[in-house]
Amino acid sequence: MVKTDNTAVSHFMTQPKLTSRQASWQELLSEFHFVLEYRAGSSNHVADALSCRADLASLGVGPGPLRRAGKARQFWVEDGLLMTKENRLYVPKGGDLRKSLISECHDTLWAGHQGEERTYALVQRAYYWPQMRDDVETYVRTCLICQQDKTDH
């Protein structure tokens, strides 16, 4: 539910005629499930008070690198998790989570210490992060078991 104090905005998704800019916004917004509801500004004291605070305006989300790169459509939040196309879970940097996922797809009995390509295929089936392939390659190349089993010809 998106509440607005602008009557025109509340009817935006049902407009019969749109400018090219409005059409592009409508196309972008059609990927999301929401309802626009009009609510008079005078009856929405909290939002009205927040919109008057200049110090909070600087905290808003502007067109960041993701939006400028045209990647905003590729991500969405589902059950508190950031998802990407093909319903893959975005794995943030920090901690050992990425390394643990690679380990699970490489070191475990069911994974069987496969090579870089097979390990990458397993990880990328359910997860996404930038430079994932590089991380998988580094992990597999430094795997002690794989190094010991490697035969030199």
DSSP characters for 47-96?
Answer: HHHHHT-HHHHTTS--S-HHHHTT-GGGEEEETTEEEEGGGEEE--SSTT
* Whether the predicted model's global pTM rises above the 0.85 cut: no
Per-residue pLDDT tens, the chain, 153 aa: give them.
777 777 777 777 777 787 887 777 777 777 777 787 877 766 665 555 545 545 444 444 444 544 554 555 677 787 778 888 788 888 888 888 999 999 989 988 877 888 899 999 999 999 999 999 999 999 999 998 888 876 654
Report in angstroms the alpha-carbon separations of 19 from 7, 8, 22: 18, 14, 5
